[in-house]
Amino acid sequence: YFKEVDGMYAYYPQLKAFSENDEVRISNDSAISVRTNAFSGNGTKESPYLINNVNDLINLSLSINHEFDAEGIYYLVSSLASNFDLSNTNFKPIGSIEYPFNGNFDGNYANFNLYLNKEQDYQALFGVVGSAGSVQKLSVTGQIYGSNNIGSVVGLNHGTISEVYSTAQVYANNNVGGIIGANHGSLSITYFRGEVDGNNYIGGITGLNSGTILESYNTAKVFGNSFVGYISGNNTGTSTN
C-alpha cells in the first residue's frame, strides 16, 4: 500500500494488514512507521530543505498546519530551478492566519508565477508570515485577486522580508499592496512594477504599514478610493527610501 505525499511527509510502502486495519490506532501507527521527509536536505541553515519543483512548493504549503509552522527550519530553492509556474496548479498560499509560516525561505532569486483568483483574505505567494519567519531573494509575476490583506509576495507580514520584487497585477478590496498587503514586520530592498487596484488602504509596496520599509521604490499604477499611496496606503511605521 502506497500513501501519497502529505505536506512535509513522504511514505515508504506499507503492509496492507496494518495500513488497512479497521483499528485507527493500528493504521496510524503503520503510516508513522514508514514516514520520511518529503524534501532533500536536513532543514538546517547549513543543509536546508531544497525546493526543486512546483510539487515541492505545494508540499511546503500543505505542511504548514497546527502541528508544524516551520520555525527554525530553512528552505532553499535549488540552483537548478529558476522559474516556478504555479498558475495552473492546486497551489495555495504558504501560511494562513490560523497557521502562519515561521520558517526561513531563500528563493535563490527564482521567479514564482501566480494566478490566485479567490474572494478570500491573505492571498499571495505567502499568505501569512509570522514573527519568526523570513522570506528573501525572489520575484513574483502573474495575477492575484482576493479580498483583504492581499499582496504578491506576502498577504500579511509580521516577519522579515528582503530582496524581493514583483511585476504582478494585484486586485482586491482593503489592505492591498504590490508586495505586501499589510506589513507589521520588516521589508527591505524591494520594488514593484505591476498594477494595484483596490478600495481602501492601497499602496504600491504595502497597503498598510506599521512596521519598517527600507530601500524600496514603486513604478506601478496604483488605484483606490481612499488611503492610496505610492509606497504605502496608510503608514504608521517607518519608511525610508
Highest-pLDDT range among 6-10, 55-59, 173-177: 173-177
User: pLDDT at position 24, please?
Assistant: 84
Higher pLDDT: 6 or 213? It is 213
Q: Give the mean pLDDT of 70-93.
A: 95
How distant, in Å, are the alpha carbons of 18, 112, 115, 167, 226 from that of 141? 46, 6, 9, 5, 26
For residue 5, what pLDDT band results from cuts at 50, 70 and 90?
Answer: low
User: pLDDT at position 14, please?
Assistant: 63
For residue 168, what pLDDT band results from cuts at 50, 70 and 90?
Answer: very high
pLDDT for 6 beyond 60: no
pTM: 0.87
Q: Could you tell me what percentage of the chain is helix, strand and coil, using 3-state DSSP and rounding each to the nearest 5?
A: 10, 50, 40
- Please state, in angstroms and rounded to a whole number, the distance separating the CA atoms of residues 117 and 97: 18
User: pLDDT at position 17, please?
Assistant: 76
User: pLDDT at position 48, please?
Assistant: 95
DSSP state of 33: H
pLDDT for 33 beyond 70: no
| CB contact at 8 A, 222 and 192 | no
pLDDT for 28 beyond 90: no
